[in-house]
Amino acid sequence: MAGVSSCMKYSMFIFNLLFWVCGSIILGVSIWIRVSKDVQQELEIESNNFAGVDLLIAVGSIIMVLGFLGCCGAIKESRCMLLLFFIGLLLILILQITGGILGAVYRSQIETSLNKALQRSLDSLQGSTEQDKTFQENFQKFENTYQCCGLLNGAEDWGKNFGRKICECDVKSTSSDLCTNFKGRYVYKTPCGEVMLELIKNNMLIIIAIAFGLAVIEILGLVFSMSLYCQIQRK
């Protein structure tokens, strides 16, 4: 009867140990962000907006569980654990591929969806409630960072809330191509909607590259786990 390859067994163990460590780091940092008020203020995360952090907690937990199953399955030569690891990794790969296909199909609709979302946000930009003021303060930081103004139509999107320091463009220190004259003041010419669309498109390429890299690693994990499973079964 053929034995279990020690090289494959310990390679599988080391791979999943690193996998488990990565999951632990993601989970630990995510929980720290979730419970620490100081970190939330530093990262400017609102108390009612933890969707991204909660997603990282879920991802970290899943990676930890899969890493544990892979480690124990390899070192203990447990077919049950290796099979669970294989199924879990396969489900993640299927979800990844499904998400990639949906992203490719609906990529052309990103601009339309973004414009609709920005159109809804115009009311907050021109409103006067406390919630609107909070939105306006955060949006001004975005404008200053990315040197843009308004959402869709530039400075006029601010309506009656257009103030002295809003969208202020210093022609002495900034390229004149970025500035335009509005109500006797120089303001940033580019609407922030265009900047947001460009950021989304650029980040999508990064996400696709990361997803492709992860898919390659996951396929290797599937091949190694199934190979080790078959070797243990033949033992």
Band (pLDDT 50/70/90 cuts) for residue 235 is: low
The pLDDT mean for the chain works out to: 82
Q: pLDDT tens digit string along 47-84?
A: 555 666 777 788 888 888 988 988 888 888 888 998 99
Tell me the pTM.
0.64
Of 222 and 164, the one with more pLDDT: 222
Which band of pLDDT confidence, cut at 50, 70 and 90, is reported for residue 39?
low
Residue type, 153: N
Q: Is 169 left (phi over 0), alpha (psi -120 to 50) or beta?
A: beta
Query: Cβ of 197: how many Cβ atoms within 10 Å?
Result: 16
Q: Are 152 and 118 in contact (CB under 8 A)?
A: yes
What is the tens place of the pLDDT at every residue in 119-165? 888 888 888 888 888 888 888 888 888 889 988 888 888 988 887 77
Mean pLDDT value across residues 28-47: 71
Which pLDDT score is estimated for 205? 74
**Residue 58, CA atoms < 13 Å, CB-side half-sphere:** 7
Predicted local distance difference test score (pLDDT) of residue 79 = 87
Burial code (b: 16+ CB inside 10 Å, e: under 16) for 14-47 equals: ebbbebbeebeebbeebeebeeeeeebeeeebee
pLDDT of residue 206: 77
Is the pLDDT at 41 greater than 70? The verdict is no
pLDDT score for 87? 92
Using alpha carbons, select from 5, 148, 22, 16 the residue that is nearest to residue 82.
16
**Which tens digits make up the pLDDT trace of 158-180?**
988 887 778 888 777 666 678 88
Give 202 or 44, the one with higher predicted confidence: 202
Q: What is the pLDDT of residue 33?
A: 78
Token code pair at residue 116: 């609709």
Task: Locate all alpha helices (DSSP H) within 76-149, ordered by sequence.
Answer: 79-105, 110-126, 130-146
Distance, CA of 230 to CA of 153 (rounded, Å) = 62
pLDDT of residue 23: 84
Averaged pLDDT, 190-219:
83
pLDDT at 46 over 70: no
The pLDDT > 70 percentage for the chain reads 89
User: Could you tell me the pLDDT band of residue 1, with boundaries at 50, 70 and 90?
Assistant: very low
pLDDT of residue 3: 57
